[in-house]
Amino acid sequence: MRGRIGKETPPKTRYGFMAIPPSQKTIGLFEWEVSLLRKKAEEFSLSFKAMPDAIFWDEVSKIPLVTLWNLDHDNCPFLSTRNLCRVHTQKPLICQAYPLRAFGIVSAESGAPISIELADCPNVVPLPFPKERLMMIRYSTFFQELVPIYGSTFLGMLRLDGASKFIRYTLENLEKEGIIKRAILRKEVLKAILKNKPIGLFEYLRKMYPDIERILTKNIEEIYEFSLADLKQMIKKR
């Protein structure tokens, strides 16, 4: 397992371990995306590997649990010889959102500013805002200006943000219920993470609580059911 702990954040605030250094990251995958792509790889007789990336040590189960995976291929195995995506209609959220990456998209009711980062891509239409790397703009302006330019890509970014929030809220709720307890990242915790085989957070929950499948499925489906029509309705209300 690759990675190291940096010194930029005080240990008392660090719960997760990023196993893959930034220079070696490829495509980030949620747990349900790993399962889907593994099945698709079997259909196309392709090799498919994903490595655990975001990991935390659970003091309750004494197991390292994974919340984010990384595609373990230098080149995506789902690209055809014509450089076309074989899983276009079911591609990962990070691919749906490219080249947009959002940070801190807030609820429509708050009206608070949000930030967006544009990935480095020479073929991207420039954003219609000041050229700062991180731009703080009003929610309504953000929607109205970017949807005509990016369309379904903007929708992918919202879904990606929604999936990230789903993971965060799931962890928070599980901790409140005492089902898991994330350990503060320190030397002995890191050793335990490296020594034990990690498993996916949802895989662990399914084994412990079979009835949770319906809840997980419902939440994941809601992320993907959000459509451009829903987005346009949100814009009209601004």
Domains of the chain, residue spans? 11-236
User: Which among 235, 45, 40 has a CA at the least distance from the CA of 144?
Assistant: 235
- Report pLDDT for 14: 82
- Report pLDDT for 237: 63
Averaged pLDDT for residues 80-105: 84
Asked whether 69 and 28 are in contact (CB, 8 A), the reply is yes
91, exposed or middle or buried, with CB in 10 Å at 0-12, 13-18, 19+? buried
- Report pLDDT for 33: 97
Q: Is the pLDDT of residue 166 over 80?
A: yes
- Report pLDDT for 161: 87
Q: What is the pTM of this model?
A: 0.81
Averaged pLDDT for residues 125-137: 57
Q: Which helix (H) or strand (E) holds 87?
A: none
Cα-based distances in Å from 237 to 16, 108, 148: 38, 9, 16
Q: What is the percentage of the chain residues whose pLDDT exceeds 90?
A: 54
Averaged pLDDT for residues 61-65: 96
What DSSP string runs through 133-183? SSEEE-HHHHHHHHHHHHTHHHHHHHHHHHHHHHHHHHHHHHHHTTS--BP
